[in-house]
Amino acid sequence: MSGFLSSSDLVNNSDRGESPGQAQLTQSNGSVCEGASNQPTQCDQTVPSGQPAQPIAEGSPDVSARFAQPIAEGAPGIPGQPSFDPRNLRTGLGMDVHAFAPGRPLIIGGVRVPHYQGLDGHSDADVLAHAVMDALLSAARAGDIGKLFPPSDPAFKNADSIKLLECVSEKVRELGFEILDVDSVIAAQEPKLSPHRDAMRERMAEAMGISVENVGVKATTTERLGYEGREEGITAYATCLLWRCSIE
Ligand SMILES: [Zn+2]
């Protein structure tokens, strides 16, 4: 691979249109649905967007009332809007692939993993950090890392991807989003990555400025199937949840 990013980095994450129309929410209630007949049940009901799916039971804390309080001028959030509006949440999905190459360090999630070979790339080829960055940028509808850090730019040769993750997190905040949660999966046959999982969580949480509790990392093999199974490369997938809490 000659560029800073793999071809998968260059996948066009075109901005998704948003349709503020009514959401058709289906209620789910296991006890009601079990053994359902042809008769309509609560599961068939639809509720318009912005209304609670189910009434709050007698005696339960009414958290929706607290969230419905409008945000005061100067407080975090969008002034005048409810302190929590689920329509201001955004999810993002990122994926990255890098091929193995001899004589390269193996860096995943900002952690140097002992192995006889590493991943190829113009930067440090941190496949997990790249997937997380693309998830964040996708959720903020801000393009992808290929756009932000062009592979043609020599400034990013051997770049530390954890530093790039810091930049992306800063950009996402500048656009008015808070990073609430990130989860990820790495598909690799070898080496065994689970002993390094917590170190990866800590490094990426620090780069994003969030709690380590809000960063998930899992590792799996592909049972020797595919390019990961043949130890030709590693894939990483990441999702994130952002909250749009201010207007940039
Ligand atoms: Zn990459």
Which alpha helices (H) appear in the chain, and where do they start and end? 30-33, 63-67, 127-139, 145-148, 161-174, 197-208, 226-229
Q: Are strands 218-220 and 46-47 parallel, antiparallel or unpaired?
A: unpaired
CA distance 138 to 152: 22
Gap from CA of 123 to ligand 1 centroid (Å): 8
pLDDT in tens, the chain (248 residues): 333 444 333 333 333 333 333 333 233 333 323 333 344 433 343 434 444 445 555 665 555 555 666 666 776 666 776 666 778 899 999 999 999 999 999 999 999 999 999 999 989 999 999 999 999 999 999 999 988 888 888 888 889 999 999 999 999 999 999 999 999 999 999 999 999 999 999 999 999 999 999 999 999 999 999 999 999 999 999 999 999 887 65
The pTM assigned to this predicted structure is 0.71
What are the φ/ψ torsions at residue 90 (nearest 5 degrees)? -135, 140
How far does residue 223's CA lie from ligand 1's centre (Å)? Answer: 23
Q: How far is the CA of 155 from the centre of ligand 1 (A)?
A: 16
Distance from residue 131's CA to the centre of ligand 1 (Å): 7
DSSP class of 227: H
CA of 136 to the centre of ligand 1 (A): 14
C-alpha distances (whole Å) from 29 to each of 33, 40, 43, 53, 62 are 6, 13, 7, 11, 20
Task: Give residue 126 CA to ligand 1 midpoint distance, Å.
Answer: 6
User: Are the CB atoms for 161 and 44 separated by under 8 Å?
Assistant: no
Radius of gyration of the chain (CA): 21
pLDDT in tens, 9-62: 333 333 333 333 333 323 333 332 333 334 443 334 343 444 444 555 566 555
Calculate how far, in angstroms, residue 16's C-alpha sits from the geometric centre of ligand 1. 22
Domains and CATH numbers, the chain: 87-244 (3.30.1330.50)
